[in-house]
Amino acid sequence: MKKVLAVIAVLMLSSPAFAKVESKGKLILGANVDYGYTKIGLMSVSGDISADNGVIYGGGIKAGYGVFKSGIVYCGLEFQQKELATKIRDMSGNYKEKFTQKFLDIPLAYRFLVGPMYADLGGFYGVRAGDMKYKDTGASTGSGTIDKKYTNDDYGVLLGIGGLIPVGDNGAIDIGLKAKAGYSYILDTPGNKLGCWSAALSVGYLVMF
């Protein structure tokens, strides 16, 4: 992750032209794709269960408005597939269990602009899309779906850091790292309650006019 941040910083600082663009009073439209990793942030379980790394990916669109010279309020709509991964040890042996759920995430955040660099601070709400699926591999194998009464929508804090590489007069490539800390048990069975935290590389394009 440190190498990714270093590359982003070099690219941004080599593009000072975009730092002259003032965001106040301007409309911002953008689209992005994301790929990264998840970790179980909230966890209440019974038995010998530990957290493992999962995967998150997706994409979306956003729209914003420049309320200050160096500040943008934006909201969006993102399709995200989030995976919760666990390691389990019981009488059958050691095995891994993964839970996968699709969401339509609605982010709402404030973007602080510092030259070509930025930092995002806000929140998100994720609406479940379809059924949660599970798959076991190792000493125990199997797959299926989780009853919807044992799943919940997701919500939490959104943080981001990145930069803008200018393209033409009003466009820019948007590269950054995005973290979401969910404070909902998206899996909520009587024995196991799991929440999702994630960190992803986000690449997109935006226009400001």
**Which pTM value belongs to this model?**
0.87
Question: Is-contact 152 9, C-beta < 8 A?
Answer: no
Mean pLDDT lowest among 80-84, 91-95, 115-119:
91-95
Question: Is-contact 127 106, C-beta < 8 A?
Answer: yes
| Residue 161: pLDDT over 50 | yes
Question: Is-contact 97 83, C-beta < 8 A?
Answer: no
Question: Is-contact 161 119, C-beta < 8 A?
Answer: yes
Four-point Cα dihedral 112, 113, 116, 118, nearest 10: 0
Q: How many domains does the chain have?
A: 1
CA angle, residues 124, 37, 11, in degrees to nearest 5: 85
Interval 10-21: pLDDT, tens: 554 554 544 455
6 lies in which domain range?
A: 2-19+27-208
**Gap between the Cα atoms of 88 and 138, Å rounded:** 10
**Gap between the Cα atoms of 171 and 42, Å rounded:** 39
pLDDT of residue 140: 84
**Gap between the Cα atoms of 193 and 190, Å rounded:** 8
Mean pLDDT lowest among 47-56, 74-83, 171-180, 181-190:
47-56
Interval 164-193: pLDDT, tens: 998 888 899 999 999 999 999 999 998 889
Residue carrying the six token digits 């660099």: 117
pLDDT of residue 48: 82
Q: 4: pLDDT confidence band, cut at 50, 70 and 90?
A: low
Number of other residues whose CB lies within 10 A of the CB of residue 69: 11
Interval 27-36: pLDDT, tens: 999 999 999 9
Number of other residues whose CB lies within 10 A of the CB of residue 180: 28
Interval 99-142: pLDDT, tens: 999 999 999 999 999 888 999 999 999 999 999 999 999 888 89
List the beta bridge partners of residue 80.
58, 103
pLDDT of residue 139: 83
